[in-house]
Structure 1
């Protein structure tokens, strides 16, 4: 049975996110380092508490593995004394793949009849955004030799990020559909702001913009997917559990 996040949990999540942003903005290291891992830590705790009584169907396992890598990515990126951007990028890339797998399994579970025209219609905005965004980023990598090795990893990451967004959109008709789609789009926005701030030009209020959209994205995706998986009609059979 699905249990909505309590008001206390939601307020705690917002509070921790705000404290992290305050710690980062005012260089309060203990606050920044202490709160950032708790953003995903709280969501992992919520998911674990929910599934330890209902079991861990395949979609939930993919989701939770993705959450673990998101937590690792947060840890890598919060450390400013050493440049661990590449490791953070890799961790979040794995997260994107895990979330995409969970979305794809939910599409299969819904029995949706996807056709190439219907997929292309929904994919077109993501393709256009990806092409335009990479075209805007490209000169920064061309003119900076130090960034050239990062170009293709960034391209692959952006492709996987937008694929995750597309798969979220393709879940049309699923419960909590709007929340999951909003979360995926906010994630794309958050990562786009990171790229602009890091590679192009400083973004005013970057910490607040990036972390608020990121925290909201993770909350909406996790809560929405847990709600979907918890519906009786979405529970897998034993054969499906083995095959997935």
Structure 2
């Protein structure tokens, strides 16, 4: 199935909403932050329904993933209550859905077993290194200890998502989808560093710009394979 690219108007609207959300969060305009953040994924979910009405199982799974991403955004934007675990769980489901979508193949597409190990190596190195860096914070802060296992699972899952995107070589939209997966890893890594290691200035623009770009590239360039 051919992909209908987003119009310039939609792209500008998406960028505008993302910039508005970042500005509202940085300026601590709570009502605007609450109003604009869900629109980032909401726009992409609406676009996928409108332009990908037929897409088989892959589009259904993608939309389920987007729905959980929307839930995750809502859980994480609420600061009055600690809903981090629910947000983490929601994005974990989203990552699993994306893994499934990236793993679907059209007729004739096959993964060469000899390329899997080499392709997986950088993702394995990333996961192991990042968990090694994070571990002291969880080991020395009792409040974080119960999150250590979920964080291990999440890092493993997002690394697998990146690997599955990398293994789509030769598929339509390969480059933008892989770039989106890598930006997703960057965004979540920045969240972890800012939340568990060292808070840093500019974290909000970095996290949200990479996150929004990642979702945009994946949703608008993934092709229905089945």
**Which whole-Å CA distance do the structure 1 matches of 2:89 and 2:108 have between them?**
30
Partner of 1:111: 109
Answer whether contact 2:3 2:221 (CA < 8 A) is retained: no
**Which whole-Å CA distance do the structure 1 matches of 2:201 and 2:48 have between them?**
34
Between 1 and 2, higher relative CO (CA 8 Å, sep ≥ 6) is seen in 2
TM-score (norm 2): 0.97
Partner of 1:95: 94
Task: Give unmatched runs, 5+ long, in structure 2.
Answer: none
Number of residue-to-residue matches in the alignment: 225
Task: Give unmatched runs, 5+ long, in structure 1.
Answer: 237-244
Matching residue within 140, 144, 158 for 2:141:
144
Partner of 2:23: 22
Q: Does 1:160 align with 2:157?
A: yes
Partner of 1:49: 50
Answer whether contact 1:110 1:174 (CA < 8 A) is retained: no
2:200 aligned counterpart, secondary structure: coil
TM-score (norm 1): 0.90
Root-mean-square deviation (Å) = 1.1
Answer whether contact 2:72 2:88 (CA < 8 A) is retained: yes
Q: Does 1:75 align with 2:74?
A: yes
- Following superposition, the deviation at residue 113 of structure 1 comes to 3.5
The structure-2 alpha-carbon separation of the partners of 1:109 and 1:102, relative to structure 1 and needing over 3 Å to count, comes to: farther
**Which whole-Å CA distance do the structure 2 matches of 1:2 and 1:139 have between them?**
45
Answer whether contact 1:193 1:203 (CA < 8 A) is retained: no
What does the per-residue CA deviation read over 1:105-133, in whole Å, with 9 as the maximum and x for residues that have no partner? 13x64521321x31010000000111110
1:24 aligned counterpart, secondary structure: helix
